[in-house]
Amino acid sequence: MARRKPLRTDIAWSTTDTITVKGLDLCQDILGKVSLGDMAFLGMTDRLPTPAESLVFNAIAVCLVEHGLTPSALVTRLTLAGAPEAMQAAVGAGLCGLGSVFVGSMEDAARLLQEALPKSEVPAGTPPNIEELAKQLVAREIAAGRSLPGIGHHIHKPQDPRAPALFAIARANGFDGPYIALMEKVADEAGRQLGKSLPVNATGAIAAIACEMGLPWDIVRGIGVLARAVGLVAHVLEERRNPIAREMKTMVEEQATAHFR
């Protein structure tokens, strides 16, 4: 079995007295100068963010940290109840559910936008045919029986408040291009074609802003994953102080087996 290629990483390496991360000296260039959010940006893009990019990237990451007792948070708490000595596994288990349904919808929205407006073709500013583009995109997805990602919300009415907040932050920092425009038109069009109000939600806003920042759609889920890890650690701490996992388990089990009694 011939060796096909040498192993190689360019992320980080060490000598006896230095540690280099993404080409920067950890001790000289990073510690005390780069924040955790900017470090995440560096890991995703191979460069540090500008101040505007930092502010906007941190906003979208922060937005994904916490949304209460999500399935992920329940998973972390239930796992901790059985293995309190392994909080890292409780957080790890909690991340496992960030798949196609929850965090994945952000990825789907970013993909839809980037496929409709390939990066290489994006001119300066918003293309003139953005409404027509949205109309066709929405019609195609509806015809294919697919639900449109990034719009509507089952709790937040009339609109997910995070979307306008994030769009305002993005625009105030110079990110106000064709992807945000297209996402908003898609929401309008979908509302029209489906006959109900379906404004852009947090997922759609984050996807559009990530596109504006030049992040490829297939790394967008990563923002959700790292942000949620931050949130799940807080659930570990609350579960330790005020545990609910066992009670939740008892309540669910009683209800779910009541038909036998």
Site for a copy of itself in 129-168 (CB under 8 A): 155-157, 159, 161-162, 165-166, 168
Q: Which of 35, 50, 129, 147 binds a copy of itself (CB under 8 A)?
A: 35
Give dist(CA 96, CA 232) in Å, integer.
Answer: 12
State the DSSP code for 20.
Answer: E
Q: Which of 37, 49, 178, 204 binds a copy of itself (CB under 8 A)?
A: 37
State the DSSP code for 140.
Answer: H
What is the nearest approach in angstroms of a copy of itself to the Cβ of residue 112? 18
Contact by Cβ (8 Å): 113, 179: yes
What is the nearest approach in angstroms of a copy of itself to the Cβ of residue 105? 10
User: Hey, what are 254's tokens?
Assistant: 């009683």
| Residue 174 engages a copy of itself in binding (rule: CB under 8 A) | no
| Residue 196 engages a copy of itself in binding (rule: CB under 8 A) | no
Compute CA distances 162 → 8, 126, 208, whole Å. 41, 23, 13
Q: Which of 85, 118, 144, 196 binds a copy of itself (CB under 8 A)?
A: 85
What is the nearest approach in angstroms of a copy of itself to the Cβ of residue 123? 28
What is the nearest approach in angstroms of a copy of itself to the Cβ of residue 250? 6
Binding residues among 103-132 for a copy of itself as defined by CB under 8 A: 103-104
Q: Which of 47, 50, 69, 132 binds a copy of itself (CB under 8 A)?
A: 69
What is the nearest approach in angstroms of a copy of itself to the Cβ of residue 133? 28
| Element of type H or E holding 113 | helix 104-116
Output the CA angle 213-214-217, nearest 5 degrees: 110
Backbone φ and ψ of 12, nearest 5°: -155, 150
| Element of type H or E holding 14 | strand 12-14
Stretch touching a copy of itself by CB under 8 A, among 29-37, 115-123, 133-141, 189-197: 29-37
One character per residue 6-25, x = contact with a copy of itself (rule: CB under 8 A): xxxxxxxxxxxxxxxx----
Contact by Cβ (8 Å): 202, 240: no
For a copy of itself, the closer CB: 1 or 124: 1
Q: Which of 74, 122, 130, 194 binds a copy of itself (CB under 8 A)?
A: 74
Give dist(CA 205, CA 213) in Å, integer.
Answer: 12
Q: Which residue has 């399935």 as its token pair?
A: 71
For a copy of itself, the closer CB: 185 or 235: 235
For a copy of itself, the closer CB: 23 or 123: 23
247: Cα within 13 Å, side-chain hemisphere: 4
Binding residues among 49-68 for a copy of itself as defined by CB under 8 A: 54-55, 58-59, 61-63, 65-68
Give dist(CA 113, CA 179) in Å, integer.
Answer: 6
